[in-house]
Structure 1
Amino acid sequence: MYGSHRTPQDRPARRTRHLAVAVLAAAAGLLATGCAGATPVATQLNPQAVAGQAAQTVAKHLKISPAPGTVNANPSAGITVSALDGFRVTKVTVRTGGDPVTGSLSSDGKTWHSTWALDVAQSYTVIAAGTDSQGHPVTATSTFRTLTPGQSFQTEIYEGLDATYGVGMPIMLTFDQPITNKAAVERSLQITTSKPVIGAWYWDGDEALDFRPRDYWPADTTVTLDGHLDGVEGASGVFGTQDLTQTFDIGQSLIAVASTTAHHTLIYVDGKLKYDWPISTGRTTMPTPDGTYLTVNKGNPVRMIGGTKGTPGYYDELVNWAVRFTFSGDYYHSAPWSVVDQGVTNVSHGCVNLPPADAEIYYKMAVPGDPITITNSPKGGDWDDGWTEWFLDWSQYLAGSATHMAVEAGPDGSTFVSPSSLPADTATAPVGTSVPDNYLAG
């Protein structure tokens, strides 16, 4: 009958890992042939000799930014190569002792830009190959160094390496400094999934950023986050100084729905109703709050403390098969003392009381991130009392993104797309997604 408890369990520590990215292919050497009478002659062309043009003239038409000799380039701006006046860019090579640099060339050959921010405090040499208006090969080179920031930010991810989570689990990032250039940070993050996923990023204040799918994750999905954060300017003058990568798994679909009026919980496994168990939820004075929550952690046993020591109603008990879903102390747990009330009336202090055998079954299946929905309660749920990302519907979640863009992820990585371009959402509650406004009082 216990609920709304203080426990000694703390939220697990978050960890960072350094990112390695793919290498761009090197540019080829530049040779051209010409004619002298009937005899072909091979002539090497370079910025000092391109159809009689001086190096300074070539540089004006094949421009590299940052410019040669720059010693404090802003790494968040990346590298840009631009061709003007009939010139075209054909290939760009970047040499550095830091992370390899990739980039993309525009379809018209006029512009090449690096994909991610550059590393801080790092030297780069850029060799740009192209052609002039007559098709002669040209090259331009820039060697520069990025700035060493006076201030930096660090990023941690909640998910552990190779761990398994439930289908509701968000990717949760925290920053040790307030982030104001939020869109830049979002755009530095790439998600790779073994199955196609549509989702979005959501800022919960200035130091917490979460990714949530539009609907629950597909079961048995492998997820990798690559945060290209080294060199990103998260706030004015505050730069990321290391990348972040993590891989984890989404396991089976385990969905629990508890009705405070029907006094039963339905348990869906991989999309099918598997169990219907009697329960007792919070009594009238301590109702279990409505909302779609996620399992946070579990313990067997868990020490539950409620009330004030020395006053009526105080308790300090060990409770078995306990799965937590709010930070304030609500659990699905075994309650042999209330079996007679389960399925009939509500007598707990806020928890969901289960018959011991049923509580054990659920406990052994549960992992962090499994959705738990409480319905028909006279009390509404509180934002951030647990992992409450599924309190929000899709449009509300999108509104929390600095880019206001959706993310399409798959085996080849992720891209930002307009929400209006997405296919219609066909997922249905409770097994595919959450119900809008589920946290409101019944």
Structure 2
Amino acid sequence: MRRRLPAAALAAAVCLLAAACQSSTPAAIQLNPTSVAPKSAQAAAKYLAITPAPGTKDANPADGITVSARNGGKLGNVSVHTSGGAVTGSLSGGDHWHSTWTLDTGQSYTVTATGTDAQGHPVTSTSTFTTLTPSTAFHTSIYEGQGATYGVGMPIMLSFDHPITNKAAVERSLQVTTSKPVIGAWYWDGSQELYFRPRDYWPAYTTVSFTGHLNGVEGAPGVYGVHDLTQTFSIGQSVIAVASTTDYHTLIYVGGQVQYNWPISTGRTTMPTPDGTYLTVEKSNPVRMIGGTKGTAGYYNELVNWAVRFTYSGDYYHSAPWSVVDQGTTNVSHGCVNLPPEDAQIYYNMAIPGDPITITNSPKGGNWDDGWTQWFLGWSQFLQGSATHMAVEAGPSGSKFVSPSSLPADTATAPVGTSTAGNYFAG
């Protein structure tokens, strides 16, 4: 016989059943929106610190931009917005980012850094600041012309309109890109002239691009660069002249091989052609040459053809039809290298600025800065003129500073591969 349960008991059983069903399905929990929302700017700065700080006025552009993760934060990405030059940088150690070059002067920047806090929550930190506008600026010029072609000895030559005392900072702002691998170095000639020269002569037919990231570099206390500088030029074929003042001949190497051997007459005993490895500076046809004292036997005023200059003081390779009888046997010139007219014309037509010319066996030594005399110095001497004392490895992807001790051995030989150290001493 089936008995009916009282209504109250039935209701209680239904409630128990419902409770049992509910306990097997988790109830939804309303999350706190602030636990996943980005941190406030102040909170984000606790984990991602940007220097210069937000609102900074007159920031030093030489210091660049630094972003660092701290307090357990992780750095992800850094972007910089500015109307000035683009800003690049790199991460080191995974938690430190620094701009590659100095910043522009008198410019506004907004830096945005993203990452995570110590709990892995996303954070974004920003800083908007301006760099100082200097009261004193230095300007830089480069000798090489855009798209021009030069000889294998040609140095990159920079001039500054203010003395530079922070020379290492200037060197570090310079980049050389070459179509063929090159080892070289920077050399300061005083405080306003800076040269880059390869360890050995440039490889023929190399394209060279120079970039000076000079805007924002503090070249001396309170003196800043205010512009960048770029130039691209080419190296032509290898044309190298070597003249012996005692053998009375000059050899002309083209592409590394002797192509011509010409008789010459160099400076007489009282006016010897000075020793040294020079570079061709300019050429003209004709050139008016004036020397001596007017009214005396040594005075001359002549138009000279096929003249290629290699010293500022007035030494040339040039045509000298008047001394053909002495060429190959006797030195009778006023310091120039006299050539037969047809040979002088051949050399003139080949010569471009930067072609090496070496004078040997002279009783007179060459003078530094009497022409482009960077090849007077051997490689180790040239390195000593760098403020960083570092060599430069350049190639298609740019250049970097390296320790000289890390370089491969130099296998180039004089006169076609490089110059001889101490070549400017009297023979």
Determine whether 1:233 maps to 2:218: yes
Letter in 1 for 2:82: T
Quote the residue 2:390 is aligned against: 405
String of CA shifts for 1:366-411, please: whole Å, max 9, x gaps.
0000000000000000000000000000010000001111111111
Q: Tell me the distance in 2 between the aligned counterparts of 1:75 and 1:267.
A: 50
Determine whether 1:368 maps to 2:353: yes
Q: Tell me the distance in 2 between the aligned counterparts of 1:413 and 1:286.
A: 46
Q: Tell me the distance in 2 between the aligned counterparts of 1:113 and 1:99.
A: 16
Quote the residue 1:435 is aligned against: 420
Q: 1:412 to 1:45 in 2, by over 3 A?
A: farther
- Of 117, 128, 140 in structure 2, the residue corresponding to residue 155 of structure 1 is 140
Q: 1:125 to 1:280 in 2, by over 3 A?
A: same
Determine whether 1:58 maps to 2:44: yes
- Of 373, 381, 386 in structure 2, the residue corresponding to residue 388 of structure 1 is 373
Q: Secondary structure at the match of 2:414?
A: coil
Q: Tell me the distance in 1 between the aligned counterparts of 2:360 and 2:338.
A: 15
Letter in 2 for 1:75: P
Give unpaired runs (5+ residues) of structure 1. Answer: 1-35, 49-54
Letter in 2 for 1:46: P
Quote the residue 1:335 is aligned against: 320
Determine whether 1:422 maps to 2:422: no
String of CA shifts for 1:235-278, please: whole Å, max 9, x gaps.
10011111100000000000000000000000000111111101
- In the TM superposition, 1:203-218 aligns within 5 A as 203-218=188-203
Quote the residue 1:281 is aligned against: 266
Quote the residue 1:256 is aligned against: 241
Q: Tell me the distance in 2 between the aligned counterparts of 1:201 and 1:45.
A: 52
Q: Tell me the distance in 1 between the aligned counterparts of 2:224 and 2:144.
A: 23
Q: Tell me the distance in 2 between the aligned counterparts of 1:373 and 1:423.
A: 26
Q: 1:165: Cα distance to partner?
A: 0.2
Q: Tell me the distance in 2 between the aligned counterparts of 1:260 and 1:47.
A: 80
Quote the residue 1:47 is aligned against: 39
Asked if 1 retains the 8 angstrom alpha-carbon contact of 2:177 and 2:394, the reply is: yes
Q: Tell me the distance in 1 between the aligned counterparts of 2:116 and 2:368.
A: 58
Q: 1:273 to 1:196 in 2, by over 3 A?
A: same
Q: 1:214 to 1:45 in 2, by over 3 A?
A: farther
Moved more, 393-402 or 303-312: 303-312
TM (norm. structure 1) is 0.88
Quote the residue 1:104 is aligned against: 90
Quote the residue 1:93 is aligned against: 79
| Identity score, percent | 76
Q: Tell me the distance in 2 between the aligned counterparts of 1:246 and 1:260.
A: 38
Q: 1:274 to 1:123 in 2, by over 3 A?
A: same
Q: Secondary structure at the match of 1:363?
A: helix
Quote the residue 1:4 is aligned against: none
Letter in 2 for 1:283: R
The RMSD of aligned alpha carbons is: 1.6
Q: 1:39: Cα distance to partner?
A: 10
Q: Tell me the distance in 1 between the aligned counterparts of 2:173 and 2:125.
A: 28
Q: Number of paired residues?
A: 400
Q: 1:334 to 1:67 in 2, by over 3 A?
A: same
- Of 206, 211, 230 in structure 2, the residue corresponding to residue 245 of structure 1 is 230
- Of 123, 139, 144 in structure 1, the residue corresponding to residue 108 of structure 2 is 123
Asked if 1 retains the 8 angstrom alpha-carbon contact of 2:36 and 2:121, the reply is: no
Q: Secondary structure at the match of 1:198?
A: strand
Q: Tell me the distance in 1 between the aligned counterparts of 2:209 and 2:37.
A: 45
- Of 260, 277, 283 in structure 2, the residue corresponding to residue 292 of structure 1 is 277
- Of 160, 180, 183 in structure 1, the residue corresponding to residue 168 of structure 2 is 183
Q: 1:41: Cα distance to partner?
A: 11
- In the TM superposition, 1:338-349 aligns within 5 A as 338-349=323-334
Letter in 1 for 2:73: F
Moved more, 288-297 or 84-93: 84-93
Structure with bigger helix share is 2
Structure number with greater CO (CA < 8 Å, separation at least 6) is 1
Q: Tell me the distance in 1 between the aligned counterparts of 2:43 and 2:250.
A: 76
Q: 1:38: Cα distance to partner?
A: 9.2
String of CA shifts for 1:169-194, please: whole Å, max 9, x gaps.
00000000000111111111111111
Q: 1:134: Cα distance to partner?
A: 3.2
TM (norm. structure 2) is 0.91
Letter in 2 for 1:206: S
Q: 1:87: Cα distance to partner?
A: 1.8
Letter in 2 for 1:247: T
- Of 172, 186, 189 in structure 1, the residue corresponding to residue 157 of structure 2 is 172
Q: 1:304 to 1:90 in 2, by over 3 A?
A: same
